[in-house]
């Protein structure tokens, strides 16, 4: 986990609006912890994951790193609750310019946010995946 995604997970967990809506925020992909959080509160939890990609220009040059953070809103209760949480998280992310981290503030420079729905094949878990492009 990068310092930014770890700080973002803690920020979402402790935020006055988002924190009360979720049973917990998970740093990284931890399906056992996700299942545990959804057992505690079937409504929602959030997973924050780094998605860093590297590109090498075809005609040479330096390798370019692009930063993305995946924020997954997950619910066992309903698709509507999941979408509402994702809308709240997206609005908060657009409004946030820095995230507190160990007494400092890390810049959160977002260039775009893409939202994709997902669900398991039995329609028992709904997800709204926010892919946040970081400059």
Residue 66 is predicted with a pLDDT of 66
The pLDDT value recorded for residue 52 is 67
**Whole-structure pTM value:** 0.81
Per-position pLDDT tens, the chain of length 135: 588 888 998 999 899 999 888 888 887 777 777 777 777 776 677 778 777 666 677 777 776 656 888 898 888 888 898 999 999 999 999 999 999 998 899 998 899 999 999 877 666 888 899 999 887
Give residue 43's pLDDT. Answer: 65
At residue 16, the pLDDT reads 94
Domain residue spans of the chain: 3-134
What's the confidence (pLDDT) of residue 11?
93
DSSP letter string over the chain? Answer: --HHHHHHHHHHHH-TTTGGG-S-EEES--HHHHHHHHHH-SS-EEEEEEEEEEE--TT----EEEEEEEEEEEESS-HHHHHHHHHHHHHHHHH--EEEETTEEEE--EEEEEEEEEE-TTS--EEEEEEEEE-
For the 3-134 domain, the top CATH level (class) is alpha beta
pLDDT at residue number 119: 76
């Amino acid at each position: 986990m990068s310092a930014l995604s770890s700080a973002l997970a803690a920020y979402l967990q402790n935020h006055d609006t988002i924190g009360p809506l979720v049973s917990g925020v998970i740093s990284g992909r931890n399906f056992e912890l996700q299942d545990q959080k959804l057992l505690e509160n079937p409504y929602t939890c959030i997973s924050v994951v780094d998605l860093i990609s590297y590109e090498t220009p075809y005609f040479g040059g330096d390798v370019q790193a692009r930063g993305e953070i995946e924020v997954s809103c997950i619910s066992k209760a309903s698709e509507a609750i999941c979408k509402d949480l994702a809308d709240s998280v997206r609005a908060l992310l657009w409004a946030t310019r820095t995230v507190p981290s160990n007494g400092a503030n890390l810049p959160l420079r977002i260039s775009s946010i893409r939202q994709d729905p997902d669900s398991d094949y039995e329609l028992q878990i709904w997800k709204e995946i926010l892919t946040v492009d970081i400059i």
